[in-house]
Amino acid sequence: MQLIRHPCMPYPEACAEQEQLVERVLKGKAHGYLVLTEHPPCYTIGTSGSEQDVLHRSIGNETIAVFHSGRGGQVTYHGPGQLVCYVIHDLRQERDLHRHVWRLEEMIIRTLREFDIEAGRSERGIGVWVDGLKIAAIGVRCRKWVTYHGVALNIHPNLAHFRGIVTCGMKDQPVTSMRQLGVHATRAMLEPVIVRHAHALFAA
């Protein structure tokens, strides 16, 4: 799995890059990729989502862009202070998308444990949760059994921006962040831990 880091990149550019990386994997030019980045504030609508779940496009004095996404899931938020981990992974032998999502969740659960946050799964939906609040959202797409998109971990985003949407179809807005839980970690601190767990879980 090759590692690609971007300080911050617009969401459409990140989607375009993933399409190129998927093609490389399909053609046998690479085994897989882990892309780590952040996005400027935006709402993304997954294949199960609706424009109706975008309640406000302006929060405070900020206008938040809205993009339709090919990933699964409904509407979510991306922005500074959130580490986005895109995993381009070849499932042509395994062909188990549920297992892939489990690995994405497990990558974050194991990472958070090293920062003294006990996270887990919830019957409310896919993702990583802490005491009934979602700390990481997951949405994936699969083309010819090569996966892309991935997981967004809330380190210290502006949680007020989540009020502009029905987050992942949940009107009660059950979101949290590492900062809100009292953990003052940085992206630089998290990245090597996530990379280590990603390599262990997604080893070819």
State how far the alpha carbon of 73 is from the alpha carbons of 60, 140, 185, in Å.
26, 8, 28
Domains of the chain: 2-201 (3.30.930.10)
Write out pLDDT tens, residues 30-56.
999 999 999 999 999 999 888 999 999
Residue with tokens 């949760």: 129
Residue spans of alpha helices (H) in 114-169: none
pTM score: 0.95
Quick one: 74 exposed, middle or buried, by C-beta within 10 A (0-12, 13-18, 19+)? buried
**Catalytic sites, residue numbers:** 168
Write out pLDDT tens, residues 105-149.
999 999 999 999 999 999 989 999 999 999 999 999 999 999 999
What is the three-state SS of 51-83? HHHECCCEECCEECEEEECCCCCCEEEECCCEE
